[in-house]
Structure 1
Amino acid sequence: MASLNVGSLGEYIREQRRNAQYSLRQLADAAGVSNPYLSQIERGLRKPSAEILQQIAKALRISAETLYVQAGILEERHGDAPGLRVAILADPLISERQKQALLAVYEAFLKENRESAEPAADKAAETGG
């Protein structure tokens, strides 16, 4: 587990709040946290719990995983296209269901490519090439 990167987390939350066109007070109300507490998070002065991050993510209509990755609580899944999943999950223009559908299609393509690459690698190993 990586260390909590509070400064960039706060900046990220502020950016997402502005993209969603929320005032600090509006987001605090929607997330169920106090206005001063949210301000401290955005300024990198407080380390929010995973539960608070989840509340903020829900209010921003982004995936909690996005904030967990940003906070360093979770590692980015897989080494392939690390920013793609975060970008999809952070996009405020598509619904949570649409985000999950996009990620499922992407994962299916990756799985298909891995499976088709394995027989070719096995054949190359057999022929010494």
Structure 2
Amino acid sequence: MTDRDFSSFVRDVRKRAHVATRELSDSAGVSNPYLQGERGVRRPSGAVLRQLALALRMTTPIMYLRANFTASENGSAMPLAIATDRELTSKQKQTLAEMYDAFVDENERAASK
């Protein structure tokens, strides 16, 4: 999947959810210009993918898969491993992804102190 394909995916999901770009920007906690990535200008980081997934009420693993994101900004392939594990149910994948995201967020907050 190309960046443009991912951009189209985000745009389509946003439109189906009847969410304006500015509303998505506010919900995801990212700047409106950063959402230019929706049009293929930028490839979002793992943190932004997590925020977009939450704002669009999607599972983080699906967002990572659609972005063809093989590793987060810290080099971890955990989100992709969760998303592609065939032994887990969708609910288990979402729960693990949420736990992982919470740990990553906690570590980022601790590092910024």
User: What TM-score results when the alignment is normalised by the length of structure 2?
Assistant: 0.62
Match of 2:25 in 1: 28
| Larger relative contact order (CA 8 Å, sep ≥ 6) | 1
Residue-by-residue CA offset, 1:46-104 (whole Å, 9 max, x unaligned): 0100110000000000011111001111376268xxxxx9xxxxxxxxxxxxx617x9x
Corresponding residue SS for 1:13? helix
Letter in 2 for 1:23: A
Match of 1:77 in 2: 84
Gaps of at least 5 residues in structure 1 are: 80-84, 86-98, 104-129
Number of equivalences: 80
Letter in 2 for 1:31: A
Gaps of at least 5 residues in structure 2 are: 70-79, 95-113
Match of 1:62 in 2: 58
The list of structure 1 runs, each at least 4 consecutive aligned residues, that deviate by more than 2 angstroms after superposition, is 74-79
Query: Equivalent residues in 2 for 1:1-129 (5 A)?
Result: 5-38=2-35, 40-73=36-69, 74=80, 77=84, 100=91
